[in-house]
Structure 1
Amino acid sequence: MAVSDWQRIRTLSNVKYYFNYSITVIGLLSNLVAIIVIGRGKCGLSRCITHYLVAMAAADLLAVFCNVAIFYLYAVIFRYTHTIACTLQYVMAYVSLDCSVWLTVAFTFDRFVAICCQDFKTRYCTVRIARVAIATVYVVSFIRNIPYYFAFYSYYPTMPIGCMEKPEYFTHPGWIAFAWINNILTPLLPFFVIVLLNILTVRSIVVASRARRKLRAHASGEKQEDPEMESRKKSIILLFCVSGSFILLWLTDVITFIYTHIANIHYVPDWSHPLTMATEAGNMLKILSSCTNSFIYVVTQSKVRDELKNAISCSANYELN
């Protein structure tokens, strides 16, 4: 292998290490703070939105913990643990990522209904429906990832230590079908559903805004501020920031997945291959998506910022006393 290839591999390894270390610290702290601050229900958001945001922060917290804190930074520990513990860690990594993705879909659909389907809004955008949707995402994500528990076996034939995929996981038609279904459900289907919902939402907003401006101008004879449109602005900004962040950060992973399957590429020659670089970049970006929502809440919602400042002030005063 050429010296330049070794340098690229070493650079990629260093980037992954420092990235994962940073994501662990930032992701765990930011999502925990988001759960505490938003969960108090004093951020000026409806109870329905509050339920979704807290559930998304909890799923993101679990995703960072299972996919980064344990899986990457402390993988050496699980390499020598019991096979059952190692396997469960893999299962929870898949479950947590599914929950994070599909709760984003559920939130996007809820906001789509609230903005575009006024007749259906009063029946769907309720706390009860939000709780049912959140519980359904968690339960279904767990159930559909149970087969992963049976996809691993011990490193050593005589000792239940560590875990790795069974050879038939890559060759048996049943496992291949299972892998395809899971890859379609996460991330392909959520990605395109969110893109479609955002397109329909933008279209509805443009049409509604034009109609309301013409109606108000005709009624009053002059342009005036529209209180209803202003009240919906924060919800729209939050929706577009959350879903837009998801689309951008998952785009690389979706493109590499589609390319490798169309080109029938099941492995890459070595770690210096450009496709490996793209795959690793996609993995890092999709994990990063589990940390961005907390910052989006702070940037887009003034009352979230106020509650965060109050929490920091109270904490500082408590330490001084």
Structure 2
Amino acid sequence: MRSLIRTVRKIFYLVLGIIGFPVNLVIVVILFRGKCGLSACSSRYLLAMAVLDLLVVIIEIILSRIEHDFFPLSFLDITPVCSVHYALRRLAIDCSVWFTVMFTFDRYVTICCEKLKAKYCTEKTATVVLATTSSLLCLKNIPIYFRFEPDVIVDNIPWYCCNSDAYYYDPVWEGFKNFEKILTPIFPFGLILFLNALTVRHILVASRVRKSLKGQSKGENSSDPEMESRRQCVILLFAISGCFVFLWLWYILYYFDVDDPLGSNGEYIFKQVAYMLRNLNCCTNTIVYVASLSKFREKLRNPLEAIFT
């Protein structure tokens, strides 16, 4: 059973790397050029998320998973390089998660906080928020470099990354591990659910009020551009955050050490599936853009039509 799961995992990451890199690269280029029917603030958040998705594909999928499966010995396995590589993996995943949270909060302010919207939902604020978040997460991941020690030393060259004894027994490292679990992904997971619940509540109340004022409760049918705009915004928000919640849920359950009735094999399968779904999240935003934004579909279709023509 484990050999089958390993084979599936190899194929999964290989396909994800082959498809994820060019697709996310195209997404970054389209969002960078703009004119996708999005505000400057939303475009800035989505561009940052797309760049992080691309970095996750490169660092986590190609240089880690695929390299480990198909090139078991390379310079990436030298201990100092391996330590830096692992810290960068954690940084990319952390930023990907927290940029999704920042985008969710921005949409919440846009929809629910009319007074705060003019000050917060600007391109300058988005840049400051993203830069601050990235800087703090960089500082948070510096200790990860010192977590490892070489597994073997060959010709005075340290190879592979092995957790040091202090990582298992030192209370400082134990506290750091618990902090990591809470910071990513438990707290963002709960925060996204909370913000979405507030957004849904506000939209339902506002919708009933507007329908009442426009007389739609009496059977009149008239278009409402404001509600249509909110509907498209909410579809984009819920599609992105919904995919995030679903694909990270299994990783969180694995973190909580959910009892598995299938024993050790079932635990191994659950772990691999949880990691695969977590890493799949780096490509789901592409589907969301294509499905929910008509102008984005048009810009994505035009270069494809030119290529095939």
**Structure 2 CA distance, aligned partners of 1:276 and 1:153?**
25
Q: Are the equivalent residues in 2 in contact too, given 1:41–1:50 (CA < 8 A)?
A: yes
Q: Are the equivalent residues in 2 in contact too, given 1:81–1:161 (CA < 8 A)?
A: yes
Q: Are the equivalent residues in 1 in contact too, given 2:211–2:217 (CA < 8 A)?
A: no
The answer to whether residue 287 in structure 2 is matched with residue 295 in structure 1 is yes
Secondary structure, counterpart of 1:160 in structure 2: strand
Q: Cα deviation per residue 1:148-174 (whole Å; 9 max; x = unaligned)? A: 000011122553222221122122111
Cα offset for 1:315?
A: 4.4
Structure 2 residue corresponding to 1:277, chosen from 269, 273, 279: 269
**Structure 2 CA distance, aligned partners of 1:282 and 1:219?**
46
* Alignment gaps of 5+ in structure 2: none
**Structure 1 CA distance, aligned partners of 2:296 and 2:123?**
20
Q: For residue 129 of structure 1, what is the aligned residue in structure 2?
A: 125
Secondary structure, counterpart of 1:259 in structure 2: coil
Q: Cα deviation per residue 1:268-314 (whole Å; 9 max; x = unaligned)? A: x98x5212211211111010011100111011100001111222234
Structure 2 residue corresponding to 1:223, chosen from 221, 224, 228: 221
**Structure 2 CA distance, aligned partners of 1:275 and 1:164?**
22
Correspondences of 1:202-221 after superposition (within 5 Å): 202-217=200-215
The answer to whether residue 139 in structure 2 is matched with residue 143 in structure 1 is yes
Q: Are the equivalent residues in 2 in contact too, given 1:82–1:161 (CA < 8 A)?
A: yes
What residue identity is the alignment partner of 2:122?
T
Please identify, of 193-202 and 136-145, the stretch whose mean Cα deviation from structure 2 is larger.
136-145
Distance 1:34 1:174, change over 3 A: same
Q: For residue 248 of structure 1, what is the aligned residue in structure 2?
A: 246
Q: Report % sequence identity.
A: 38
Secondary structure, counterpart of 2:17 in structure 1: helix
Q: For residue 101 of structure 2, what is the aligned residue in structure 1?
A: 105
Q: Are the equivalent residues in 2 in contact too, given 1:79–1:162 (CA < 8 A)?
A: no
Q: For residue 28 of structure 2, what is the aligned residue in structure 1?
A: 35
Cα offset for 1:222?
A: 3.1
Secondary structure, counterpart of 1:162 in structure 2: strand
Please identify, of 153-162 and 208-217, the stretch whose mean Cα deviation from structure 2 is larger.
153-162
What residue identity is the alignment partner of 2:12?
F
Secondary structure, counterpart of 2:222 in structure 1: coil
Correspondences of 1:310-321 after superposition (within 5 Å): 310-315=302-307
**Structure 2 CA distance, aligned partners of 1:200 and 1:293?**
23
Q: Are the equivalent residues in 2 in contact too, given 1:217–1:224 (CA < 8 A)?
A: no
**Structure 2 CA distance, aligned partners of 1:104 and 1:255?**
20
Tell me the number of residue pairs that the alignment of Structure 1 and Structure 2 aligns. 303
The RMSD of aligned alpha carbons is 2.1
The answer to whether residue 173 in structure 2 is matched with residue 175 in structure 1 is yes
What residue identity is the alignment partner of 1:311?
P
Please identify, of 74-83 and 186-195, the stretch whose mean Cα deviation from structure 2 is larger.
74-83
Secondary structure, counterpart of 2:58 in structure 1: helix
**Structure 2 CA distance, aligned partners of 1:111 and 1:80?**
40
**Structure 2 CA distance, aligned partners of 1:132 and 1:26?**
32
Q: Cα deviation per residue 1:171-225 (whole Å; 9 max; x = unaligned)? A: 2111111011011100000000001111111111100000110011189993311
Q: For residue 81 of structure 2, what is the aligned residue in structure 1?
A: 85
What residue identity is the alignment partner of 1:163?
C
The answer to whether residue 80 in structure 2 is matched with residue 55 in structure 1 is no
**Structure 2 CA distance, aligned partners of 1:89 and 1:297?**
30
Q: TM-score, normalised by structure 2?
A: 0.92
**Structure 1 CA distance, aligned partners of 2:160 and 2:254?**
29
